Amino acid sequence: MTDSLAQHYLDDSIEQFRKLKVMADKAIAQVDDRELFFAPDPESNSIAVIIKHISGNQRSRWTDFLTSDGEKPNRHRDTEFEIDETTTRETVLEWWEGGWKCLFDALEPLRPEDLMRTVTIRGLPHTVVMAINRQLTHYASHVGQIVFLAKQLKAGDWKTLSIPRGQSEIVNQKMMGGGQSQQRA
């Protein structure tokens, strides 16, 4: 991988993680405390549980990313799916912010020459590229769950996070300069 391609990959990966966080942040901001902890049924997860799981995964995977296994001995994954009645929104948001901080603190210092290094997750070797892709897809699936739950809970009060229904053509025309190609200055 050339350095420019490798740097592009690193920059884009960080940008994609940031976009996922922003999307989830916007969904989480729309739900009240009751909705944050609501699970549709006993086998489903609440937004709070999904956040606890993501943040537990992030702390495990990204702490000492290049030098220790991504499944830390102090991680107790099964407990990430349990929330007790004393857990507050503030606690959940602290987990959330702490997990993302751990991720960005590990990713931002990476250099192109790090991408082909080997890291382990549960004892299995991964290149840094593979490890990043693994986590990007994992977090994307859970962010999708957060957005879906929030949208269902807010129903008619939901504020869309993307292009509103029926407005794709209008947005496309605006972005493409009314159908004419735009030149950059």
Q: How confident is the model at residue 185 (pLDDT cuts 50, 70, 90)?
A: very low
Alpha helix segments (H runs only) across the chain? 3-30, 33-36, 47-62, 89-107, 128-154, 168-175
Dump pLDDT digits (tens) for 99-151. Answer: 999 999 999 999 999 999 999 999 999 999 999 999 999 999 999 999 999 99
Dump pLDDT digits (tens) for 18-60. Answer: 999 999 999 999 999 999 999 999 999 999 999 999 999 999 9
Angle subtended at Cα 83 by Cα 78 and Cα 84, rounded to the nearest 5 degrees: 125
Q: How confident is the model at residue 178 (pLDDT cuts 50, 70, 90)?
A: low
* Residue ranges of domains in the chain, CATH in brackets: 3-160 (1.20.120.450)
**φ/ψ (deg, to 5) at 118:** -100, 130
As a whole number of angstroms, the distance between CA 177 and CA 23 comes to 26
Of the chain, the end-to-end C-alpha distance in Å amounts to 31
Of all residues in the chain, the percent with pLDDT exceeding 70 is 95
Q: What is the pLDDT of residue 1?
A: 57
Mean of per-residue pLDDT scores for the chain: 93
- Whole-model pTM: value is 0.89
Residue with tokens 């004892």: 123
